[in-house]
Amino acid sequence: MRPDFDSLFQLRGGVKLGLAQTQALMGLLGNPHLRPGVVHCAGTNGKGSSLIFLESLLLASRYSVGLTTSPHLLRLNERYRLGGRAVEDEPLFQAFSEVAHALGMNPHKPLEGYGQLPLRASFFEISIALAFILLRKSDFLLVETGLGGRLDATNVIVSPQALMLTPIGLDHQEYLGAELADIAYEKLAIAKGEAPFFIGKQLPELLPLIRAARGQAPTYYYGEDFFWQGEEFCFPAQGWRLRVPRLGLEGRHQKDNAALALAVYAALLPKEKRPPSRLLAQALAETRWPGRLEWAAPNLLLDGAHNSLGLESLLTYLREHQGKRKILLALGSLPHKNWVSVLAAEAKRKTERLNLTLLPLGFPLQGSLTGQALAKELKKTPWPLLPPSTLNEFQSNPPQGYDLTVLTGSLYLLGAYGQSKRD
């Protein structure tokens, strides 16, 4: 009988910030988090893309690389990559059994008696424990935070080799604070000791705050310490320049993510351990990451934009590459997302304004907005709005008369879409 980790999804949705439970769980497992070669990444947008570029670079350099990200699209396995591929079922089953036994769970019926367990670990705490077990033999372990940083379960990491901060924007304010400064404080708190911190592209108003928080600690800034000159990535402090004609991920923002990955890579590996430049450029050109500006068909684009920064990047891409097309923006969402201000700003553009129609979608995830609730929000924008629908209705009877349909608003939405196609 195979372990039943799928039932753990019933624990998902209840956010539990704090490190005490994760630290206790790590202790029960022999402290697998106390290991070298860890790169810890926080930020609002671009964490997964930046880490997937870094994974490609390290794999091209013939290192063993583990990567843990969230959420997954179709299967829990996707949260754990080893050697550039999602882990297979059998090692995942074994790792889950190890965690379940440490907690006193029956791995075949993990929720049976859950309320009486001495340590009631959350879904995310268990998923992070799985990462440290599944990927413990890798040379490098790349870890994406789940929510924030300071109290995120991943912040049990003690001695990271490098730290990354991707662009910060407004998201999860109900947990991280109402202001950008509050959110930045939470995410910067993954800093440990003298580990170098690499700061990706940020809003200008955040830079003084970040500089003050970092003080004299080793910190490198995109646009100052590392940057692009045309197609050439430059990191003067490392004496390194690399020509990168093409990236495997689309969108202007991916160039920012790739720059962050390249800077961390240069700090991790001295020149003598790097392969020829053409192999690194090829690795970046061949990088793939599902659900990020992914073409599912010639007239269907999938993008996991899940907050205002993500939607801004998506709209920028559409203006630059699909601006002359009649576009249906099919949007499904979790609560507390600031779609209205971004869509309203797009409508006010005097040049290169998109031709958008909005379709609010409900999809099968506990806690997600219904199509009706999302439509109530989207009515505040000046864009044409179709009647609310469901993902199932959208797939069985998609609206006609559009040159391009863009499905976006949540990676969970894309996962539900992919699962229904798979079934």
- The predicted pLDDT at position 408 comes to 97
Residue 46 and residue 53 in contact, taking contact as beta carbons nearer than 8 Å = no
- The predicted pLDDT at position 15 comes to 62
- The predicted pLDDT at position 228 comes to 98
Cα separation, 136 vs 31, in Å, equals 11
- The predicted pLDDT at position 343 comes to 95
Structure tokens at 44: 């609002």
- State phi, psi for 155 to the nearest 5 degrees: -80, 10
In degrees, to the nearest 5, what angle opens at C-alpha 261 toward C-alphas 224 and 133? 140
- The predicted pLDDT at position 422 comes to 64
pLDDT, block means (10 residues), the chain with 423 residues: 71 72 97 97 95 98 97 91 96 94 91 89 93 97 93 96 93 70 92 96 95 95 97 96 97 96 97 96 97 94 92 95 95 91 92 94 91 96 96 95 96 89 65
CB atoms within 10 A of CB 375: 21
Farthest-apart Cα atoms in the chain, separation: 62
Domains, the chain, in order of start with CATH, read 6-285 (3.40.1190.10), 294-422 (3.90.190.20)
Cα separation, 176 vs 7, in Å, equals 28
Structure tokens at 269: 């590996």
Cα separation, 197 vs 221, in Å, equals 9
Query: If residue 16 lies in a helix (H) or strand (E), which one and from where to where?
Result: none
